[in-house]
Structure 1
Amino acid sequence: MIEAVGLTKRYGDKTAVYNLSFQVRPGSVTGFLGPNGSGKSTTMRMILGLDNPTSGQVTIGGHPYRRLPNAPRQVGALLDAKAVHGGRSARNHLLSLAQLSGIPARRVDEVLGVVGLQDVAKKRSKGFSLGMGQRLGIAAALLGDPQVLLFDEPVNGLDPEGILWVRNLMKALAAEGRTVFVSSHLMSEMALTADHLIVIGRGQLLADMSVTDFISANSADFARVRTPDTEPQLREKLGAALTGAGGHVLPEQDGALRVTGLPLPRISDLAHEAGVRLWELSPHQASLEEAYMRMTQGAVDYRSTSDQKAGLQQPLPPGAEPPVPVPGQGQPGWYAPPPPQQGGQPFAMPAGGPGAPAGPYGGAPAGAYGAPGAPAGPGAPAVNPYAQPAPQAPAAPPAPATAPAATPDASSPAADTNQPEDAR
């Protein structure tokens, strides 16, 4: 098991990881998610003893990595598939690693077969494609038959067959009782592979829960209802009936109705009582990607700017830009931690964050869709065509946040002044 307690890493006045605590348990695949620059790679480097934490500690099986006897036989890792001498063949690369750890040479041929590189074992790795390099890195991680495995973007560069192979490999390793910790940006693949998720943003823990609970806590589920397109009056009649029963209705562009606040059987009963025929009545649950985007929306550091059409479109003067709405802001489950860059000053979880009471479909509370003045979901205000909306006062633009100047932490090791990719 991997356990981090109060893990913090600073590079001068830049805090890459702040007060991070979590556990990675054996027997399941744990996904490690977060935007670019959130501190994932820094965390993995600290787990493997490549970087020293500024404060806190992380252990594997109760011991720091550097104190593990014959660590390669207990922990396998893939952090950088390019960390291979290009002049060596695949077999010689693995053979050198095996000799350093006292692993029999026959194990080299075994892992080459596991990753499918047995036919190119004598070829120099500098001629390998990105996907072949990934397979070689996975082979190196499996070389000591370890009980703890860490993979950073293991499917990068793999074709669909290779992605399926990695997925099945991760599940098989976890089924054997091993601890499997996987970092990836492919949400669709994590949804199929991971059993548990650890999500961080700007160096802080955002979520530590199962995939099912994560999706439920960070999505606004709804029922989709459709009436005959040739009879628009039936849609209006049904909308009024649903609103009168306490539901919240939002019309969609294709003519269907998005309903929250009522369970599907109740919607069906109301339609039957109103004499309305239904062409569709289906539940909708957000995907892992939608839930992840909702959770991490406020923790993204790198955003593209709009194209200025090669100078033909003049940008707005400073201070004239309208405030940009943040999808999901103000709804339960939305959490945007401020960047812990000013000397790692602590900050608290705002009220209404993850763990707030959810509505009937597990996501936004009653009123999240269609209620006057409530947000309708990512990027659009809610409008209830069947209720009289209350007047809204214009919102003042947010004031720029200020923070005191930071001072470098004297305990930061001089050897760690070069920032890794996640700390930039």
Structure 2
Amino acid sequence: MIEAVGLTKRYGDKTAVYNLSFQVRPGSVTGFLGPNGSGKSTTMRMILGLDNPTSGQVTIGGHPYRRLPNAPRQVGALLDAKAVHGGRSARNHLLSLAQLSGIPARRVDEVLGVVGLQDVAKKRSKGFSLGMGQRLGIAAALLGDPQVLLFDEPVNGLDPEGILWVRNLMKALAAEGRTVFVSSHLMSEMALTADHLIVIGRGQLLADMSVTDFISANSADFARVRTPDTEPQLREKLGAALTGAGGHVLPEQDGALRVMGLPLPRISDLAHEAGVRLWELSPHQASLEEAYMRMTQGAVDYRSTIDQKAGLQQPLPPGAEPPMPVPGQGQPGWYAPPPPQQGGQPFAMPAGGPGAPAGPYGGAPAGAYGAPGAPAGQGAPGANPYAQPAPQAPAAQPPAPQGQAPAAPPAPAAAPTATPDASSPAADTNQPEDAR
């Protein structure tokens, strides 16, 4: 098990991780999510002893990584698939790692077979594609048959067959009782692979819960309703009936209605009472991507002005904000941490309290409509003819002159970076690499 308690890391006046506490338990795949620059890579480097935390601690099986006896046989990791000497063959690369850790040479051929590189085992790694390099990095992580595994973007560069293989591998490893910690930006893949999620933003914990609970807490389901296209008056009549019954109705671009706050049976009954024929009445459950975008939209450092113009950050209707539990803080409603303060000061914290596999690495991959709301990432659907007009908010700034685009927000100052040697701990004086 991996356990972090009060983990904090500062590089000069930049706070990369602040007061981060979580547990990664064995027997399940734990996804590690967050925007670019949120501190994911820094956190994984501290877990593996490549960076020293400024304060707090992180342990594996109750011990810091550097105090683990023969750590490569207990912990396997893939952080950078390019950290390979290009002049060495795949087999010689793994053989050198095995000899350093006292692992039998026969294990090298085993893991080459597991990752499918047995036919190119004698080829130099500098000629490998990105996907082949990923497979070689996964083979190195599996070399010691460890109980704890960390993977940073393991499907990067893989084709669909390779992605499916990695997904099955992760699930099989977890089913054997191992601790599997996976960082990825592919929300669709995390939804199929992970059982539990740890989400961070600007170095702080945003969520620590199951995938199902995460989606439920950070999104709201809705129903799509469609009436005959040749009878637009029926659409207006149904919209008025649904709004009068307490539903929130939004028109969609294809002519359908998005209905929130009413269960499907109630929508059907209201349509029947109003004498409206329905061509479609279907449920919609938010995806992991939609829920993730909603939670992290306030923790994104780099945002295109085009996204803002398209209304991708449009808030939910009044009263439709779903609660977002933040473990250890007990804050109702949505919360995103503020940007780090200058001078090495920590973030300002909110008020409140804190099937069995066929082989050792094989195996097969394993709403109620009551809460109003809408998933994030949806473009502006248009004006709602059924809602009462809302009071106008004061303009934050005067409009730009005609023909002139609004000024883009100022870009954050670029921090100098240093690339530490992948084979040794990084010095704390270095600036952090771009966290993925």
Q: TM-score, normalised by structure 1?
A: 0.82
Judge which range, 369-378 or 55-64, deviates more: 369-378
Q: Distance in 2 between matches of 1:245 and 1:365?
A: 43
Could you say what secondary structure the match of 2:306 adopts? Answer: coil
| Contact in 1 for aligned 2:206/2:336 (Cα 8 Å) | no
Q: CA 1:74–1:396 in structure 2 vs 1: closer, same or farther (change >3 Å)?
A: closer
Distance 1:302 1:176, change over 3 A: same
* Cα gap change, 1:330 to 1:198, in 2 (>3 Å): closer
Cα distance between partner residues in 2 of 1:320 and 1:143: 50
Shift in CA distance, 215/355, structure 1 to aligned 2, threshold 3 Å? farther
Q: Displacement of 1:80 after TM fit?
A: 0.5
Secondary structure at 1:416's aligned position in 2?
A: coil
Distance in structure 2 (CA, Å) of the matches to 1:246 and 1:388: 12
CA-CA distance at 1:235 after TM superposition = 1.1
For the pair 1:408 / 2:420, whether they are aligned, the reply is yes
Are 1:216 and 1:363, in contact at CA under 8 Å, matched by a contact in 2?
A: no
CA distance, structure 1, for counterparts of residue 215 and residue 108 of structure 2? 40
Separation of aligned partners in 1, 2:229 and 2:71: 66
The 8 Å contact of residues 7 and 21 in structure 2, kept in 1 or not, is answered as: yes
Q: CA contact under 8 A between 2:32 and 2:197: conserved in structure 1?
A: yes
The 2-side partners of 1:347 and 1:228 are apart by 54
Question: Are the counterparts in 2 of residues 12 and 417 from structure 1 also a CA contact under 8 Å?
Answer: yes
Q: Quote the offset at 1:32 in angstroms.
A: 0.5
SS in 2 for 1:354: coil
Residues 5 and 382 of structure 1: is their aligned pair in 2 closer, same or farther, counting only changes over 3 Å? Answer: farther
Indicate if the aligned counterparts of 1:372 and 1:384 stay in contact, CA closer than 8 A. Answer: no
Q: Does 1:343 align with 2:355?
A: no
Aligned mates of 2:100, 2:320 — CA distance in 1: 62
Q: Is the 8 A contact 2:320 2:373 kept in 1?
A: no
**Alpha-carbon spacing, 1:186–1:406, altered in 2? closer, same or farther (3 Å):** closer
Structure 2 Cα separation of the partners of residues 318 and 402 of structure 1: 38
> Does the 8 Å contact 1:335/1:353 carry over to 2?
no
Deviations 1:113-153 (Å, cap 9, x if unpaired)? 00000011111111111111110000000000000000001
Deviates more, 1:187-196 or 1:350-359: 350-359
Deviations along 1:152-185, whole A, 9 cap, x unmatched? Answer: 0101111111111000000000000000000011
- Report the 3-state secondary structure (helix = DSSP H, G, I; strand = E; otherwise coil) of the residue aligned with 2:243: helix
Secondary structure class of the residue paired with 2:236: helix
Cα separation, partners in 2 of 1:389 and 1:44, compared to 1, 3 Å: same
1:422 maps to 434
**Secondary structure of the corresponding residue to residue 259 of structure 2:** strand
**What do residues 254-306 of structure 1 show as CA deviations (whole Å, max 9, x unaligned)?**
11111111111111111111111111111112211111111111111123456
Deviates more, 1:286-295 or 1:177-186: 286-295
How many Å apart are 1:342 and its aligned residue? Answer: 2.4
Alignment deviations for residues 61-106 of structure 1 (CA, whole Å, 9 cap, x no partner): 1111011111111100000101111111111111111111111110
Alignment partners' CA distance in 2, 1:365 and 1:64: 33
User: Per-residue displacement from partner, 1:199-224 (whole Å, max 9, x unpaired)?
Assistant: 11111111111111111111132111
CA–CA distance in structure 1, aligned partners of residues 373 and 311 of structure 2: 38
Name the CA shift for 1:381/1:352 in 2 (closer, same or farther; >3 Å): farther
1:245 to 1:301, Cα distance in 2 relative to 1, 3 A: same
Retained in 1: the 8 A contact 2:224–2:256? yes
- SS state of the match for residue 99, structure 2? helix
Change (3 A) 1:119 1:336: same
CA contact (8 A) 1:16 1:422 kept: no
Question: Higher mean Cα deviation, 337-346 or 409-418?
Answer: 409-418
User: Relative to structure 2, which stretch is displaced further, 310-319 or 339-348?
Assistant: 310-319
Q: 1:317 to 1:87 in 2, by over 3 A?
A: farther
- After TM superposition, give the deviation of residue 374 of structure 1 in Å: 11
Q: CA deviation at 1:415?
A: 2.3
Query: Shift of the alpha carbon at 1:370?
Result: 15
CA shift in 2, pair 1:242/1:307, >3 Å? closer
Shift of 1:395: 19
CA distance in 2, matches of 1:417, 1:108: 36
Deviates more, 1:163-172 or 1:403-412: 403-412
Aligned length: 424
Instruction: Say if 1:367 and 1:253 are closer, same or farther in 2 by CA, change over 3 A.
Output: farther
Q: How far apart are the structure 1 equivalents of 2:120 and 2:361? A: 52
Partner of 2:149: 149
The two structures, once aligned, show a CA RMSD in angstroms of 9.8
- Runs of 4+ aligned residues of structure 1 deviating over 4 Å after TM superposition are 305-333, 346-379, 393-414
Q: Which moved more, 1:181-190 or 1:399-408?
A: 399-408
1:403/1:245 Cα in 2 relative to 1: closer, same or farther (>3 Å)? farther
Structure 2 portions without partners, runs of 5+:
393-404
Alpha-carbon distance between aligned partners in 1 of 2:141 and 2:323, rounded to the nearest angstrom: 47
| Mean Cα deviation higher: 285-294 or 136-145 | 285-294
Establish whether residue 82 from structure 1 lines up as the match of residue 82 from structure 2. Answer: yes
Taking structure 1 as reference, are residues 380 and 349 closer, same or farther at Cα in structure 2, changes over 3 Å only? farther
Range that drifts further, 134-143 or 268-277: 268-277
Q: Deviation of residue 351 (structure 1)?
A: 8.5
CA deviation after TM superposition for structure 1 residue 422, in Å: 3.2
CA distance in 1, matches of 2:19, 2:252: 43
Deviations 1:332-354 (A, max 9, x none): 85433112242454456659999
How do 1:249-398 and structure 2 match up within 5 A? 249-304=249-304, 334-343=334-343, 345-347=345-347, 378=378, 380=380, 383-392=383-392
> How far apart, CA to CA, are the structure 2 residues paired with 1:411 and 1:139?
17
Q: Classify 1:10/1:95 alpha carbon distance in 2 versus 1 (closer, same or farther; 3 Å).
A: same
